[in-house]
Chain A
Amino acid sequence: MAYRDNDKYADVPQELKQKLFDEVKADERYDDYLYGCYECGICVSACPSARFYDYSPRVIAQTMAREDLNRFYEILADDIWNCAQCFSCVRCPRQNNPGGLVTLIREVAVRNGLKETREVLQGYSRVIYKVMLKGNQVSPDMLRPDFFPDWGPWVQEFSANMREWRLAIPTDTLRGVTDAAWKTDPKTLRELYYIWYSTGNLELIQEVDPGLHGLIAEVVEEELAETEWAD
């Protein structure tokens, strides 16, 4: 990670930086993920993102250990979404988990609806919609040629034959299913909706994409109205 000017986010009040930093530290997983930093760079040597971005897991661990608020805010705004979350960095000899720290910082960025975070997640909304309502991250009908042109002519062939190809799968829970990865019981999905509803997960979506939140909340609330769980 190149040297940066700590003034990049000088207009952001120190109180806000401190508040967000404290939110990260308050997560009960924080102490499991950071023990200091030898500054040895072993995590960087294993990090895929460090090869292609101006990004360093060592700087994440160092910054958090030093409690450098200005650098922390740069990481929060600019760096965290470069992490591939592969956790190659956990071979840290100090037993740090820089990838885990990134997860915690991302959660704070989402919870506070940071402008940079909303921008990064803009193209990703349809996936959030799928995972929250279908319980699956991806489905066959997402494999569209306009979304995956770089996957070659295979995507076009698949798209033209999706129905038949899905019916030609012997696994019973997959056969014919195109809008989800497998057949899921309606009751199972309602239980999942209750989890989103009762753990504050719906409010998180409100912070990053109010329109998407409205769509998901409508379905969740309608389905939960049929159950005895929702208060």
Chain B
Amino acid sequence: MKTVTLDLDQINVRKTRVFPRDPNAAVAHDLRDELFELEAKGEIIVQRVPEPYIQVQTKFGRVKKIPIEHTWHHKSCGQCGHIPGYTTAIFWLHRQLGLDYIDPTDQTSCTGWNYYASATSNAVAQAAVMMRNFAAAYETGYFPTIHCGTSFGHYKECREQLIKHQDLRDGVRRVLDKLGKPLVIPEEIVHYSEWIHAMRHEIAQRQVFDLSHITACVHPACHYHKIVPEDAIYDWEVFGGQRTATVTGLVQALGATAADYSTWFDCCGFGFRHVLVQRDFTRSFAVQRKIQVMIMEANPDVVITHDTGCVTTLDKSQFSGKAHDYKVGVPVISDAQLAALAMGAHPFRVLQMHWHSSDWRPLMQKIGIDWEYYWQEFQEDLAAIKRGDKAGVTWQDSDTPIRTQEHVLARVPSSAAAFSKEFSMSQRLTTPVGE
């Protein structure tokens, strides 16, 4: 039998061609049409994306609006509880860019982790939790930005179900009415990594550490790009538009190499219930299908991802892999932490690297950060807290980057050219991008 083959160069050329995406011909329709219909009938309020916003393309070409500021941060329980440098990096970036945001106390988690782990809830309760949080954001006048990948996916699914099913809407309305809250659905459900993607060139402009010699493997979070997949950001300049562009777009904008590996589509092994009470599965999958494959195929300096569970699983599972002589030993951080690291965030006060298990020290050394100096500084913070001389580390202690623009290397980031074409903060101040 004759086999028709292409050589590798031909394959690569053909893979990089652009596949035009026409949202009008997409297999998935624009849910917002139905949202606005429900609003016109008086059933719900649709909270509009505030200006200024940045427009990005989604999987089938629909343009999604990403608000730059005036955002209400729906925090992640896994990030805040176990990876606090993740949350802190997101806020630090906003502070560095001078952007207005709210870190609310009138917020619960989505409780989706529990729902996916144990099913000890139901559709009305889950949608009501979401709508209570959305109402809380609406009451402040700020637009929700979702930190957790699972909350993001879960809320998109709840939104879809609410739009489709009148009974569900009525059930949730009864609960929210009693609480004296309006039924509000945001015009877009926005994940923080989409904000980072939209702002990546602005972040690269403020980069103070060169990452051009750093190789990163990106793990796209399942609940970001697999639940309601048509809403995830895709960009034909990133992997030819064949996988989500969030995270990889940032890595490239910062001048690092985003290295491909064969199991990129696989989940991390988190499993929701498994990671808490049945970790033999989680550890095995994370090490054998993800970390080891990344190391063997790309040998990255760091793994970058954009969800709570993925950072936890890929980071914490490596310890046991070592006992089995698996190829492990690569640090795992979020895109927010990478962006903040590049902009000179303190490795411990901001990035809270001491909460990460896999060895991050070689990465710091390769980037040129004297982590021991900053660890010593942080130890003094801890000692002062212990003595009672200091109530805690504050933003005042943490806002100043460890390196300033004066130290920026002469290298002009390759992303700078793209930045000037697409967006600049100075333009933003005079001309809203959305207009």
Contacts and interface: CB of A to CB of B under 8 A. Distances in A.
A160 to B, nearest CB: 12
Interface stretch (B37-45, B82-90, B235-243, B250-258): B82-90
Interface stretch (B46-54, B203-211, B270-278): B270-278
A113 to B, nearest CB: 11
B258 to A, nearest CB: 21
Interface residues of A, number: 80
B332 interface: no
Interface stretch (A4-12, A58-66, A183-191): A183-191
A46 B128 contact: no
Contact of B271 (A84, A143, A171, A189): A84
Contacts of B59: none
Contacts of A158: 355
A181 B81 contact: yes
Contacts of A123: 277
A185 B122 contact: no
B340 to A, nearest CB: 12
Given A170-B350, A171-B87, A188-B108, A110 B120 contact: yes
Contact of A173 (B75, B269, B276): B75
Given A48-B267, A128-B120, A182-B75, A171 B285 contact: no
Given A84-B274, A151-B316, A161-B382, A174 B279 contact: no
A193 B286 CA distance: 35
A127 interface: yes
A202 to B, nearest CB: 10
Contacts of B105: 173, 182-185, 188
Label chain A's interface by main secondary structure.
Answer: helix
Contacts of B386: 164
B81 A140 contact: yes
A184 B270 CA distance: 26
Given A87-B227, A176-B392, A131 B109 contact: yes
Interface in A98-147: 103, 106-107, 109-110, 120-121, 123-124, 127-128, 131, 135-140, 142-143
Contacts of A195: 125, 128-129, 132, 175
A110 B117 CA distance: 12
A167 B392 CA distance: 5
Given A32-B164, A169-B393, A188 B107 contact: yes
Given A90-B229, A128-B120, A169-B88, A135 B111 contact: yes
Interface of B: 75-82, 84, 87-88, 91-92, 103-109, 111, 113-125, 128-129, 132, 136, 153, 161, 164-165, 167-168, 171, 174-175, 178-179, 181, 222-223, 226-227, 229, 265-267, 269-274, 276-277, 279, 281, 283-285, 289, 316, 319-320, 348-350, 352, 354-355, 357, 378, 381-382, 385-386, 391-395, 397-398
A103 B103 contact: no
Give 7 closest A-B pairs by Cβ, nearest first.
A135-B108, A106-B119, A152-B319, A86-B267, A181-B80, A136-B77, A181-B81
A85 interface: yes
Given A86-B222, A154-B357, A181-B77, A174 B122 contact: no
Which of A48, A51, A151 has the most chain B CB within a 10 Å cutoff?
A48
Nearest to B171: A199
Contacts of B104: 173
Nearest to A158: B355
B42 to A, nearest CB: 23
Given A48-B285, A86-B226, A154-B357, A171 B120 contact: no
A137 B114 contact: yes
Given A32-B164, A131-B114, A170 B394 contact: yes
Contacts of A32: 161, 164
A88 B267 contact: yes
B114 A128 contact: yes
Nearest to A31: B164
Contacts of B381: 168
A167 B385 contact: yes
Contacts of B115: 103
Contacts of B270: 84, 86
24 contacts: A48-B266, A48-B267, A52-B285, A84-B285, A85-B271, A87-B153, A88-B222, A88-B266, A106-B118, A121-B120, A137-B78, A150-B283, A158-B355, A168-B393, A170-B395, A172-B103, A173-B105, A181-B78, A182-B105, A185-B105, A189-B108, A194-B179, A198-B178, A205-B120
Given A164-B382, A195-B175, 17 more contacts: A48-B269, A48-B271, A107-B119, A120-B273, A136-B77, A137-B78, A148-B316, A151-B319, A154-B319, A165-B382, A167-B392, A168-B381, A172-B103, A173-B80, A184-B108, A199-B128, A201-B121
